[in-house]
Chain A
Amino acid sequence: MSRYLLDKFLYTVDRDPDLVELYRADPRGTTLWWEAERANVILNCPAAERSTWLTFTDAEREALATHDYVALFELGAHNFLVLTLFIALFERDYDEPLGFQLEFARRLSHWRLPYPDIST
């Protein structure tokens, strides 16, 4: 389980407009590229001084590769990061204001408290 790495993916993609578009167009390719090239980069360190140990579990990789925000919620990805990035990815596809946000809520509507742990 690597909730931290899930969150790191969401965080680093969300803050880069080019990566947001890449992830929208090619979720599997972007996920695999990011895990290979970016997952171990420490954000405030030179690239050569990267970590050596961070990888997704199969379930995490598949959730990202399929834009499956319900699975991300269930895996404990941070709720704010998931919402913010997925609004950027999909709000544009809905005509009504908040259309995507309400669809997001509906798809999670089977969930009751307590929600999955988001601590890292």
Chain B
Amino acid sequence: MATVAAVIASTHHPFYYRASTSAGAGRPPFADEWVAKIEAFRETLTRAEPDVLVMVGSDHFHQLWLDNMPQFLIGKAPFYDANFSNEEREFGLPRMFLHGDEELSAYLLRQGMDAGFDLAFSNELRIDHSITCPLITLRPEADLPIVPVYTNIFAPPMPQPKRFVELGRTIRRLVESWPSDKRVAIIGTGHLSLELGGPRQFGPHGPDPEFDRRAVEWIASGDLQSALAEVSLESLWLPGNATHGFMDFMLMMGVAGDGSKADYTDSLDLFHTMEAYFTWYPRPVLAPNAATP
């Protein structure tokens, strides 16, 4: 069976690429510290020696639109082009070309549907910055095949937070049952408190530092019980109007397992949002999701 080599959750800040590659007067004062943190974080994936990356993110109204909006979607394609013109325009992100792992995509789709998730699929999916940002930070060579998993954290009505957690638990269990000798890293990105297009946007910190503090604690300690008790679709509007992206962190907590403490935790308080980075190295003895129906 396949091995889950690492579980990684982080924010995906589209400004990192430009900040890290800029020089001279255009280089922001926080760039060096940010790059140092990202390089240390990158090492946590490199060390796991993955063969395949399952990448959890969300399409930001690029390919997926309100006339046909999936809640959870898995890409099943041999290749993925990546990044869109408005990401080039606003963030300076490069166009990218990625390989897919169709066999793992097919396995997750079939087994996921049989496990109670009626997953949408796409045979021609262009990937956006929710997945390319973590590739740029964690695997800039972009040389490993991916399986993209998109969630709707953007367009109400959205699934309940507990469904994100359950999908995370299911993905973990399915990867561990995949008949393959490959090492799979499961990587997902979301948000802490975030405001976009509202009065609290682009402040000196994230819009709700207290939410961020508690959220980092929940993730780092694997405290799904508290996260599920305190977070609802309604409550997520309060820390910032784009904070539903936190549900992708909750999905990744489901992948990591209840009570599973992160082996690596770091954060960076930037203007506009708090950046946060977590890595778990699954140990067979934990088998945290084996009993989940």
Which residues on A are within 8 Å of B, measured CB to CB?
4, 7-8, 11, 14-15, 17, 42-44, 73, 78-84, 87-88, 98, 101-102, 104-106, 108-111, 113-115, 118-120
In the complex, how many angstroms separate the beta carbon of A81 from the nearest chain B beta carbon? 6
In the complex, how many angstroms separate the beta carbon of A103 from the nearest chain B beta carbon? 10
Known pairs A83-B196, A113-B237, A120-B156. 16 more at Cβ < 8 A?
A: A17-B85, A73-B197, A78-B197, A79-B197, A79-B241, A80-B197, A88-B89, A101-B202, A104-B201, A105-B201, A108-B199, A109-B199, A113-B238, A115-B237, A115-B241, A120-B66
Known contacts A78-B61, A80-B60; is-contact A15 B85 (Cβ 8 Å): yes
User: Which secondary structure dominates where chain A touches chain B?
Assistant: helix
- A sample of 17 cross-chain residue pairs with beta-carbon separation below 8 angstroms, ordered by A number, consists of A4-B66, A7-B66, A11-B61, A14-B86, A15-B84, A15-B86, A17-B85, A43-B65, A79-B196, A81-B197, A87-B90, A105-B201, A108-B198, A109-B199, A111-B198, A113-B238, A115-B241
Known contacts A119-B156, A119-B157; is-contact A101 B90 (Cβ 8 Å): no
For A7, list chain B residues within 8 Å (CB). Answer: 66
In the complex, how many angstroms separate the beta carbon of A25 from the nearest chain B beta carbon? 17
In the complex, how many angstroms separate the beta carbon of B13 from the nearest chain A beta carbon? 14
Determine whether the beta carbon of A120 is less than 8 Å from that of B155. Answer: yes
- The reply on B242 being an interface residue by CB < 8 A is yes
Could you tell me which residues of chain B, from 190 to 208, have a CB within 8 Å of some CB in chain A?
196-203
For A105, list chain B residues within 8 Å (CB). Answer: 198-203
- The reply on B67 being an interface residue by CB < 8 A is yes
Number of interface residues of B (CB under 8 A): 28
The proximity string for B residues 181-225 relative to A, scoring 1 for CB distances below 8 Å and 0 otherwise, is 000000000000000111111110000000000000000000000
- The reply on B68 being an interface residue by CB < 8 A is yes
| Bound-state Cα–Cα, A17 to B61, Å | 16
| Bound-state Cα–Cα, A111 to B197, Å | 12
The proximity string for B residues 119-158 relative to A, scoring 1 for CB distances below 8 Å and 0 otherwise, is 0000000000000000000000000000000000011110
Q: Which residue of B lies closest to A108 (CB)?
A: B199
For B85, list chain A residues within 8 Å (CB). Answer: 15, 17
In the complex, how many angstroms separate the beta carbon of B82 from the nearest chain A beta carbon? 16
Q: Which 10 A-B pairs have the closest CB atoms?
A: A79-B197, A83-B197, A108-B199, A119-B156, A101-B202, A109-B199, A82-B197, A111-B199, A105-B201, A83-B196
Among A11, A43, A73, A80, chain B packs the most CB atoms within 10 A around the CB of A80
For A118, list chain B residues within 8 Å (CB). Answer: 156
Among B62, B200, B202, chain A packs the most CB atoms within 10 A around the CB of B202
For A104, list chain B residues within 8 Å (CB). Answer: 197, 201
Q: Which residue of A lies closest to B201 (CB)?
A: A105
Could you tell me which residues of chain B, from 44 to 76, have a CB within 8 Å of some CB in chain A?
60-62, 65-68
In the complex, how many angstroms separate the beta carbon of A117 from the nearest chain B beta carbon? 8
A42's contact among B60, B67, B242, by CB below 8 Å, is which?
A: B67
| Bound-state Cα–Cα, A81 to B60, Å | 9
For B84, list chain A residues within 8 Å (CB). Answer: 15
For A14, list chain B residues within 8 Å (CB). Answer: 86
For A84, list chain B residues within 8 Å (CB). Answer: 86, 90
Determine whether the beta carbon of A43 is less than 8 Å from that of B67. Answer: yes
For B157, list chain A residues within 8 Å (CB). Answer: 119
| Bound-state Cα–Cα, A98 to B197, Å | 13
For A17, list chain B residues within 8 Å (CB). Answer: 85, 89
